[in-house]
Chain A
């Protein structure tokens, strides 16, 4: 067995495990509670829960299945052939050959904001999209820096992040729907209420529990998303062997992002979780810690710090056994 210089980041693995465990725990508790409510003989409550499950599950499945088409349409991107974008395809070809992975489709979005995302339900349907802003000479990314960004995105594909995040957010989607449904049935279910006195409190319970579950799982999902960004940074930097190129790309893209008019950024916000760098930042200067909890991406400082660690690791004279 050949020696490897690419030791996994155990700390990151542990933190990710804890996050996913907590998400699972919330999920189990939530489902147990819903079943409990249904067993407590409640037709209208059970119906609401079922409808939310069907809608939430169906919605999540559709958004996963068509994630490539939806994201491309939302970004207004079009696929490009190797003849149209030889440089871009050349970089992707080489990275895929290095990583021995299937080449995703390549698309370009006509947006001035410099960014990139990768989506698709599996590696056969993956699509890697960069914006025109990322390729523009005004941003001035070198080929190595562009390669770093693409390696980060390819790592998302390799880690099946679209799938993982969809499954992780399924619970939050269902809980969010339940809050809404319970609220509407509260508003419009007046006629039935007089026949069934127990309906009101139980629907209220569903609503409150769902709201709490939604809030907790939302925070956990954001946390998981940040860990997966760090994981993609890490795998991307190890793939190219050039953490510093990724670091300078991150700095350039984040710097340019803060100069772009906000209108453009807001239209990109729904895609935020998939992006290389977040389009909308919640944080004002003094409120970093609170904004950090809600953010889909780790802060620039955190990402640079982790990449610097990889840099030291790659520079070690004797590889770890």
Chain B
């Protein structure tokens, strides 16, 4: 924030960074080779819905757009929309586990629809789910405002597998922009699609 903005008590809403999301498919391959975690094919976009009809219209347009290909080869399942207890909306897109590219394209469609309509600042994070042979859960979370990723590995009972998270950080450090500030690695308990 600039000096004048501080003086006048203004905050400029932060626009999201979208491009780094496309590094995900190749990172998924690295992750699989190094740790055995494979994509579940499910991913989601989390945003803060704005009240009013304008936003809900955009939201249903996006949903229709994504569902057009549903059921076709590579099109994945129809998207699910859920609202979490914090009031954030999650659009969950489900594909086959080898369709990470298509998944990322879906997620990007949501992003660009919001940005094109001037609602870019409402985007919070995107989440792509992974699983390993022991059924351990892992998500790569993309923070839109920073353009960085962080790993989130939930255990049962709202605990996190910090060791695994740090291991992933080391593994993917060259592939993805990993969030260096650990205080930004906030937990997304009960995120849909995880």
Contact = CB atoms under 8 A, between A and B. Distances in A.
A3 B183 CA distance: 30
Contact of A97 (B13, B55, B143): B143
A319 B117 contact: yes
A185 interface: no
B186 A4 contact: no
A8 B11 CA distance: 9
A160 interface: yes
A14 to B, nearest CB: 9
B6 A90 contact: no
Contact of A235 (B11, B87, B124): B11
Interface string A1-44: 01111101000110011001000000000000000000000000
A311 interface: yes
B11 A311 contact: no
A257 to B, nearest CB: 24
A100 interface: yes
B36 interface: no
Contacts of B71: none
Nearest to B11: A235
Residues of A contacting B: mostly: helix
Contacts of A99: 11, 14, 145
Interface stretch (A58-66, A107-115, A224-232): A224-232
Contacts of A82: 187
Q: Is the interface of B mostly helix, strand, loop or mixed?
A: loop
B85 A143 contact: yes
A2 B15 contact: yes
B9 A235 contact: yes
B168 interface: no
A96 B49 CA distance: 16
Contact of B49 (A97, A98, A241): A241
Interface string B156-192: 0010000000000000000000000001101101000
B48 interface: yes
Interface of A: 2-6, 8, 12-13, 16-17, 20, 82, 86, 89-91, 93-94, 96-100, 102-103, 143-144, 147, 155, 158-161, 164, 227-228, 231-232, 235, 238-245, 311, 314-317, 319
Q: Can you list the 9 inter-chain pairs with the closest CB atoms, starting with the nearest?
A: A231-B9, A241-B50, A319-B118, A93-B186, A315-B52, A100-B145, A159-B9, A5-B118, A235-B11
27 contacts: A4-B121, A12-B9, A13-B8, A16-B8, A86-B158, A90-B186, A91-B86, A96-B184, A97-B143, A97-B184, A98-B48, A99-B11, A143-B87, A147-B86, A147-B87, A164-B6, A164-B9, A231-B10, A238-B121, A241-B48, A241-B119, A245-B51, A311-B51, A315-B52, A315-B54, A319-B117, A319-B118
